[in-house]
Structure 1
Amino acid sequence: MEKSLPMNDCKAMKTERAINRMHSFIHGAALAALFYYRITTITTIARSSSRILLLPHLLIFTAELTLSFMWLLSQASLWNPVARTVYPERLPADEYLPSLDVFICTADPAKEPSLGVMNTVISALALDYPPTKLHLYLSDDGGSPVTLRALQLARSFAKLWIPFCRKYMVKNRCPQAYFLGEEIGGDSDSDDHFFIDKKAIEEAYEDFKICLGKIVAEADVGASRDHSPSIEVMRDDEEMPLVVYVAREKRPSHPHNFKAGALNVLLRVSGMMSNSPYILSLDCDMYCNDPASARQAMCFHLDPKLSQNLALVQFPQKFHNIRHNHDIYDAAMRFIWKKWDGLNGLRGPVLSGSGFYIKRQALYGTRKLQPNVDRDQLNEYYGSSKEFIKSINRNYKLNFPSTESMLKEVQLLASCSYDKGTKWGKEARYRYFSVVEDYFTGFNLHIEGWITVYFAPSRPCFLGSSPISLGETLVQNMRWFVGLSQVALSKYSPFVYGDMRMSVLQRMVYIQLACYGIYFLPDYILALVPQLCLLAGVPLYPQVSSPFFAVFVFVFVSSQLKHAQEVLASGDSLRTWVNEQRVSVMKSLTSYSFAAANAILEKMGLSKASFVPTSKVTDDEVAKLYQMGKYDFQAPPIFMVILCTVYMLNLASLVVGLVRVLVNGKMNEMVMQAFLPLFGVVLHYPLMEGMVLRKDAGRVSPSVSLLSAVISSLVSAYAALAH
C-alpha cells in the first residue's frame, strides 16, 4: 500500500489565481480605454495646425504600448499558479535510488575565494544520499593549482565532517554557515558527546582554513586562459563520494563558450566515469543548505507519471547575505521565483542557472536521433570519442580512468577542440549561442517537448551570495540582459523559433524574458518627455475634468496595487515594494539600455559579448553600508551620471514647471504631468541623499554630481526656453 502512494502532490493556488485573473480583465479594460484616448488625441493633433506637438504624444504612446505589451506577456505566468509538495519518505530504499553527479563550476580564485568554493564542495559531498551513488565534479576554468590543492584539502576535511553531520543529523552541512549559525544538531541536546565532537570538528575546520590560507598566500592566485587539460580523480574510501577535479583545455585561439563550455566538458568527463542519470548543477557560491534536496528532487524524477518527460527540477536561489525586507538592490529576485510558481501550472519554469537536478538524457538530445542512426551521425552529434558514444547508452558499464588509455580518452573529452565540427552546444547539451546558457538551454528543452518542475520548500535548499553594491548589481544585470537580448535579436527568438509543442502561454513567458531589456525604452521616455513638456508648458495627459483622467489614474494605481499585493503575498513588506520599484528603474536606465546597445552592436559585428564572473569578495565598507540600508553609489561613472542627471532633471521640472503652471493657471491640465516627476523624486530620494547629504565612502562622487548638474541644467533651460 505504501508503494502506491504518490511521492509528490500539486495543488492550485486558487486565491492567487482568482486575484490574478480578475485584475487581468479589469486592468486590460482600462488599458483599452487609455488607448482609445491616445489614438483619438493623436489623430486630432495630426489634423490640426499644431503638428509639432505630435512627437511627444507619439513618444508617450510608444511607451504606453511597450509597457502594455510587456504587461500582457506577464499574464501568462500569473494565469495558473500552483504549489508542489513532496513525500521523500515514500522513495524506494537507498539501494534502488539512481546515482547522482554534482557539477560545480569556478573560474577565477581571485574573484571566487577558494574558502567559499570549498564550503560549497563540502556541503554537496554531505548531501543526504548514498555516498557510493554520489559523485562530485569541480570545473576549474582558471586552471589554478590553488583550486586543485584546495579541493584535496576539502576532501580530507569532509572525511571528518560528513560522519559528524550524519551522526547528529545536522541540517546545514556547509561548515562555514554551520559554525556561524545557531543550529546545533538533531538529538544533540541529550547527547553527552556532542559538544566534545563539535569542538573537535570545529578545530579541524579551523586547521583546514589555516592550511587553505597558506596555500592561497604562497601561490599565484589567478586564472589562466592558456593551459592544457588536467583531470585528477580522488577516490580512496568507499564511504566517501567520488571527487574529480577538471580543468578543461583553454587556448586563446579557441572559443571557450563561457560556462556552457565548462558544463559540457563536465558532462562528457562524467559520462566516462560515473555516468549518473541525474545531475545537480551548482554555482561555486551556492552551498547546500538542506541535505534533503536530492531526495526531494527524486520525488519528481522517479514519479512514473512525470519521469518520462521530466527534464529537470528547479529549486529557487536564495541568498544568505540579504536582509529580509531590507533588500535595497532587489538582489533576491523575488518576482522571478514568484513567476516560477505560475509556470508550474504550465510546462514548468525556465532553467535558472544553479540549484537544479537535470536528467542526463535530456541534455544529450537523444530524442532527436533516429532509431537507426549511423556512426557518422553519432560522431557529428557527440564527437569522435567512441567510448563516450557508448556511454550514452543507459546500460553503459561504469569506467573509472585507472589506465593510461582511459586517462588519454578523458583528456581528449576535455580538450578545447573536441566540440569543433560537432553539434555540441548547438542542437543539444548546454547551448553556446548566448552567454545566458541557462535560459537558452531551458528554452530548447521545452521546445523539444520536455517539462520542468519548480519546487520551493519552506527551508531553502541552496543559499548563495548576492551582490550588495549598486555597481556589482548593475553590471551583473547588464551581463544577463546582453545574453537575453542576443536571443531576442537572433533566429532563435522565441517569437519565431521552435514548433507548436510549446504552448502559447509558455512561449509568452520566454518572449517576456528575452525582451525584458526593452523596459529601458518606456522608462527613458516617461522619465524625460513629460518632464520636459512640463517645463515647456505642453500638456500630454487629460485634464482633471475629463473622464479619461480617471482612466489614467486607475491604470497607475491598479498596477502599483497589484505589485504591492504580490509582494505582500510573498511574505515581504511594503519596504520591499519600494525597493523593487526604485531598483527596477535604476536597472532599466543603465543595465538594460547598455545591454540592448551591446546586443545590437554585436548583431552588427561591431562588438563581442563577454562573460565576467561576479566578484564574491566582500568589501567590509560596502557590507557595512548595506547593513545600514544605505546605497553604495560607487558604481561605474557612466551609470551614475545617467541616474543623477535624470533625477536632477525631474527635480527641476517639478519645481520650475510647477511654478510656471501655477502662474499661468494651467493646473487643471498639468496635474498628472506634475505627479510623474514628483513620484520619481520621492521614490529615488536616496540619490539626492547620496549627492548632497552623505559624506561616507558610498556617496555619489562630487565629479559625477557636478557633471550631472551641468547636463540637467542645460537640458532644462532649453526646454523652458522652448516655451
Structure 2
Amino acid sequence: MGKESYLPLFETEAAKGRMAYMVYAVSVMMGICLICVYRLIHFPSPSQGRLQRWAWMGSFMAELWFTLYWLITQSVRFNPIYRFTFKHRLSQRYEKVLPKVDIFVCTADHTVEPPLMVINTVFSVMAYDYPPEKLSVYLSDDGGSELMFYALLEASRFAKYWLPFCKKFKIEPRSPAAYFETVCKALDDPTMAEEWSSVKKLYEDMKKRIVSTTKVGQIPEEIRKEHKGFQEWDLVSSKHDHPSIIQILIDGRRECSRGVDIEEKEEEEEEAMPTLVYLAREKRPQYHHNFKAGALNSLVELAGFDANGGPLYIGTGCFHRREALSGMKYKKDYKTDWMVKNDRKVEESTHVLEETCKVLASCSYEENTQWGKEMGLKYGCPVEDVITGLAIQCRGWRSVYFNPERKGFLGVGPTTLLQALVQNKRWSEGDFQIFLSKYCPFVYGHGKIPLQLQISYCCYLLWAPCSLATLYYVTVPSLCINRGISLFPKLSSPWVLPFAYVILAKYGYSLGEFLWCGGTFQAWWNDQRMWLFKRTTSYFFGFTDNIFEVFGFSKSGFVVTAKVAEEDISLRYEKEVMEYGAPSPMFNILATLSLANLFSFVGALKMVIMDSKTRVLDLLALQTMLCGLVVLVNLPVYEGLFFRKDKGRMPTSIVYQSVVIAILAHIAALLPP
C-alpha cells in the first residue's frame, strides 16, 4: 500500500484534434471577415432606395451579432479535456474515511411530477455504490402534498428489498421503473430469477397502490393510521399555507437502519440503509418563498444540521462541498478532516430531531441572515443554479466537469413542444437577467475568475438577445424577395464563396460532431429545428420579459415544467410527432413565420420559372435558399396547421390568425416605401 497510496485518483487528458479544430475555427473566422468586407464595400447607394439600405444594414447588424456570439462560444472549445477516474484506488485509500454525502431530490407539484416518478429517482440515488451509513437522501416537496409523502413512505418500505437486490446482483439501472422496463423477464440464474420475480411483484404492488391513491387524490383513513406523519396534514390549510413538515422515514444513524413508524416499533435487524427524509418547508402567504432556491436552501440548512476555472453549475446532476454552499471562501491552505466530520454524532431520538429541525425549515429562520445572499443558493433569479455557481466560483472554489461512460444522473425532460419552449423561456429570461444585473460575470467576476470563464458564461447569458438577430434573418430576407431586393451576393459573384463556406463549414462540423458523439442525422436535424423554434419564441419572450422587468412593468416568476403528459400525447411523443394542441403566443409566432416564408418561397419559385434569362435566380439564389431552408425546417408546423386531424394539431384560432398576419405582412412588403 505504500506506493499505491500515492497513485492518482484520476487523470486528465487533453482532447485530440485540437490543432485541426483551430484550423477550422480560423478558416471560418476568415470567411466571416470576408462577409463583413462584402457588406461594407457593397453597401447600397441612395439611388437603390431607402428600404434596401435599411434592410442591408439590418442584415449586417444581425451577422455582426452572430459573429460575436460565435466568438464567445469558441472560448469554451479551444482547450477541451477529459477526466478518467480510478474508483478502486478511492476505495483502497479512503473507504473508512469517506465523507458523508447528502443528496437532494426536489419536487414542487405532484400533478406535473407524479409521485411514482419522483420515488424512482429516490430509489436510484439510495442505491448508490457508497457506504449507506454515510448517505442521506432528502426529498423536498415544495407542494406539501401528502400524496408525495405517502409515496415516499411506500418507497421506504420497498427500499429494504430493492437496495439489497441491487447490491447483491449489481443491478443497472437502479431505478426500479427503468430496470423492469429494460429487463422484462427473469434471467437464467435460478437464484436471481427467484429474487427478481419476488422483487418485481413487490414493486408492481407498490406501484399499483401509489397510482390508485394518486388518482383518487386523497389518502384513505386506514393508510393515514399507518404513520404518525399524516397527522402533520391536519394543520395544512393549503400548499401555500402550512407549517414545516419533516419526517425521517429511515434513520441511517442506527446500526441496523429501520423504518420509523408511529409507534417506533422494533423491527428485525436489517443491513444498513441510507437515511431518508421528507421535507415540506413552511409556507405562509405573507412570506416570499423564493421558489426552487428557497427549497434548496431549506435542504442545505437541514442537512447541515444533520449530517478554466471550471464549468458552470447548471441544473441538476452535480455535487457540492457543503462549505462552498455555506458561503465560505476558498483558501489555499484549506483542508477538510473527514475523520473528524464523520465522528460527529447526533444523539437525539428521531422524534426529537424532527421537531428540532422544523425551525430550520420555517419561514422566519432566514430573516436577517445571509441565506439567499452570501449563503446557500441566491434568491431573486429564475435560474438560481447559474447565479449561485458564479458566486461560488468568485469565492475561489473551482468546479470540475466529469462525464463518465455510465451516466451519474439521468433526468426527465418535457414531452411536448410547448413545455420545452416554456422551460427555455424561463432559462433564457433568468440568464439574461443575470447579464443585466450586478452579477454580470464581467462585473461581479472581474479579478475573481479568469476572463475565459467570464466569457464562457455568456454562452448562456446571451441566449435571449440572440432571438432578435434570428428573427430578423428568418423574416426580412424572405419578405424582401417580394420586392426583388437582394441582400446577398449574386450566384455568379465570387463573393458568394465566403457565405457558402461559412454555412457549409459550420453546419458540416456541427453534424460531424453530433454523429461522432453517437447521434443520428435525424436527431441532429431535429436539434436544428428546435434551435430555430427556441430562438424565435422562447428566447424572444425571455428578452421582452426582461425589458419589461427593467422598466418595472412585470416581475419574473417560476413555472414548474410538467414531466408527464396524457396517454395520447405520450404516444405521439414516442412516435416523434410534435404537439401543438394547446393555444400559445409561441405557436402564433411559429405558425406566422412558417407561413410567411412559405409564401415568399412560392413567390420566388414563380419568379424564377417566369424569368427566361435566369437573372432572378442569379440575383436571389441565396435568399431563396435561406427561405427554402426555413420552409424545410417548418414542415412539421405545416402538417400541424393543415393536415393533422388528431388533438395535437394546431388550434384553429392560431391557423386563422397566422394566415391573416402572414398575408398582411406580404401586402405590407409590396407597398411602396
TM-score normalised by the chain length of structure 1: 0.82
Give CA-to-partner distance per residue, 1:89-115, whole Å, 9 cap, x none: 111353221111111111111111111
Q: Are residue 518 (structure 1) and residue 430 (structure 2) matched?
A: no
- Structure 1 contact 108–223 (Cα < 8 Å) conserved: no
Does the residue aligned with 1:243 lie in a helix, a strand or coil? strand
Of 194, 217, 239, the residue aligned with 1:224 is: 239
Aligned partner of 1:147: which letter?
Answer: M
- Superposition deviation, residue 509 in structure 1: 1.1
Q: Distance in 2 between matches of 1:653 and 1:223?
A: 54
**Alignment-derived partner of residue 335 in structure 1:** none
Are 1:171 and 2:186 counterparts?
A: no
Q: Is the 8 A contact 2:97 2:342 kept in 1?
A: no
Who is 1:703 aligned against?
Answer: 653
| Paired AA for residue 170 in structure 1 | I
1:485 Cα deviation after fit: 1.7
What one-letter code is carried by the residue in structure 2 that aligns with 1:56? A
Moved more, 497-506 or 595-604: 497-506
Match of 2:641 among 660, 680, 691: 691
Superposed CA deviations along residues 558-609 of structure 1, whole A, max 9, x for unmatched, are: 2211211221221112212211111111111111101111122122221121
Q: Please say if residues 534 and 673 of structure 1, whose CA atoms lie closer than 8 Å, have aligned partners that are also in contact.
A: yes
The alpha-carbon deviation at position 663 of structure 1 amounts to 4.7
Give the 3-state SS of the residue equivalent to 1:451 in structure 2. Answer: coil
Q: Aligned partners of 1:6, 1:56: CA distance in 2, in Å?
A: 59
Is residue 414–residue 564 contact of structure 2 (8 Å, CA) maintained in 1? no
Greater Cα offset, 414-423 or 212-221:
212-221
Deviations 1:392-440 (A, max 9, x none): x958833255388765542221111222222212123211131111111
Cα distance between partner residues in 2 of 1:488 and 1:536 = 39
Q: Find the counterpart in structure 1 of residue 490 from structure 2.
A: 543
More displaced, 629-638 or 500-509? 629-638
Kept in 1: contact 2:100–2:135 (CA 8 A)? yes
- How many angstroms apart in 2 are the aligned matches of 1:628 and 1:231? 42
Distance 1:51 1:714 in 2: 21
- Tell me how far 1:192 sits from its aligned partner: 2.9
Distance 1:10 1:474, change over 3 A: same
Q: How does 1:570-589 map to 2 (within 5 A)?
A: 570-589=517-536
Contact 1:265 1:414 in 2 (8 A): yes
Question: Counterpart of 2:474 in structure 1: which amino acid?
Answer: A
Q: Distance in 2 between matches of 1:572 and 1:524?
A: 28
Secondary structure of the equivalent of 1:464?
coil
Q: Does 1:264 align with 2:297?
A: yes
Report the Cα distance in structure 2 between the residues aligned to 1:401 and 1:662, rounded to whole angstroms.
86
Contact 2:486/2:620, CA 8 A, preserved across alignment: yes
Say if 1:630 and 1:149 are closer, same or farther in 2 by CA, change over 3 A: closer
Return the alpha-carbon distance in structure 2 between the equivalents of residues 478 and 709 of structure 1: 25
Q: Residues 151-550 of structure 1: matches in 2 within 5 Å?
A: 151-182=152-183, 189=188, 191-220=189-218, 224-234=239-249, 235=251, 237-238=256-257, 239-274=272-307, 346-367=308-329, 397-399=344-346, 401-402=348-349, 407=354, 409-550=356-497
The one-letter amino acid paired with 1:506 is L
| 1:622-661 equivalent positions in 2, closer than 5 A | 622-660=569-607
| AA matched with 1:53 | Q
Asked if the contact 1:76/1:508 (under 8 Å) is kept, the reply is yes
Measure the CA separation in 1 of the matches of 2:98 and 2:343.
17
TM-superposed deviation, 1:544 = 2.5
- Confirm or deny: 8 A CA contact 2:583 2:654 kept in the other structure: no
1:89 and 1:370 map into 2 onto residues whose CA distance is: 28
Alignment correspondent of 1:2: 4
Matches of 1:690 and 1:617 in 2, distance apart?
22
User: What letter matches 1:209 in structure 2?
Assistant: K
8 Å CA contact 2:482, 2:600 repeated in 1:
yes
- Distance in 2, Cα, partners of 1:101 & 1:630: 40
Contact 1:170 1:184 in 2 (8 A): no
Displacement of 1:8: 0.9
Residue 132 of structure 2 is matched in structure 1 by 131
Please give the per-residue CA displacement for 1:155-176, whole angstroms capped at 9, x wherever unaligned.
1110111112212221222111
User: Whole-Å Cα distance in 1 between the matches of residues 668 and 622 of structure 2?
Assistant: 22
CA distance in 2, matches of 1:542, 1:625: 43
Ranges of 4+ aligned residues in structure 1 off by more than 6 Å: 368-371
Q: How big is the shift at 1:501?
A: 3.3
Secondary structure of the structure 2 residue equivalent to 1:366: coil
Instruction: Please state whether the residue corresponding to 1:142 is helix, strand or coil.
Output: coil
2:328–2:395: 8 Å Cα contact kept in structure 1?
no
**Shift in CA distance, 403/466, structure 1 to aligned 2, threshold 3 Å:** closer
> 2 CA distance for matches of 1:585 and 1:175?
37
Which amino acid in the other structure matches residue 533 of structure 1?
Answer: C
State how far apart, in whole Å, the 1-side matches of 2:571 and 2:213 are: 29
Deviates more, 1:656-665 or 1:573-582: 656-665
Shift of 1:88: 0.5
Partner-residue secondary structure (3-state), 1:601: helix
**Pair 1:149 & 2:150 matched:** yes
CA distance in 2, matches of 1:363, 1:267: 8
Query: Once superposed, what is the RMSD of the aligned Cα atoms?
Result: 2.5
**Cα offsets for 1:122-162 (capped at 9, x unmatched):** 22222111111111111111112222222222111101111
- Counterparts of 2:348 and 2:185, CA distance in 1: 40
CA distance in 2, matches of 1:126, 1:94: 17
Deviates more, 1:142-151 or 1:664-673: 664-673
How far, CA to CA, are the matches of 1:544 and 1:195 in structure 2? 68
Larger deviation: 77-86 or 568-577?
A: 568-577
CA distance in 2, matches of 1:114, 1:621: 21
Q: Residue 233 of structure 2 aligns with which residue? A: none
Q: After superposition, what is the alpha-carbon deviation per residue over 1:625-659, rounded to whole angstroms, capped at 9, x for unaligned?
A: 12222211224432222111111111111222443
Cα gap change, 1:81 to 1:223, in 2 (>3 Å): farther
Do the aligned partners of 1:137 and 1:246 also contact (CA within 8 Å) in 2?
yes
Q: Does 1:82 align with 2:68?
A: no
Aligned residue type for 2:99 = P
1:675 maps to 2:625: yes
- Separation (CA, whole Å) in 2 of partners of 1:213 and 1:559: 48
Between 29-38 and 568-577, report the one with greater CA deviation: 568-577
Q: Check the 8 A contact 1:106/1:117 in 2, yes or no.
A: yes
Provide closer, same or farther for how the CA distance between residues 396 and 426 of structure 1 changes in structure 2, counting only shifts above 3 A.
farther
Aligned partner letter, 2:621: V
Alignment partner, residue 106 of structure 1: 107
* Separation in structure 2 between the aligned mates of residue 406 and residue 243 of structure 1, nearest angstrom: 13
2:341, 2:463 → 1: CA distance? 39
Aligned to 2:231: none
Q: Is the 8 A contact 1:138 1:244 kept in 2?
A: yes
Q: CA deviation at 1:448?
A: 2.1
Aligned: 1:45 with 2:45: yes
**Is residue 10–residue 84 contact of structure 2 (8 Å, CA) maintained in 1?**
yes
Identify if the C-alpha distance between structure 1 residues 49 and 585 changes in structure 2 by more than 3 Å, giving closer, same or farther: closer
SS in 1 for 2:311: coil
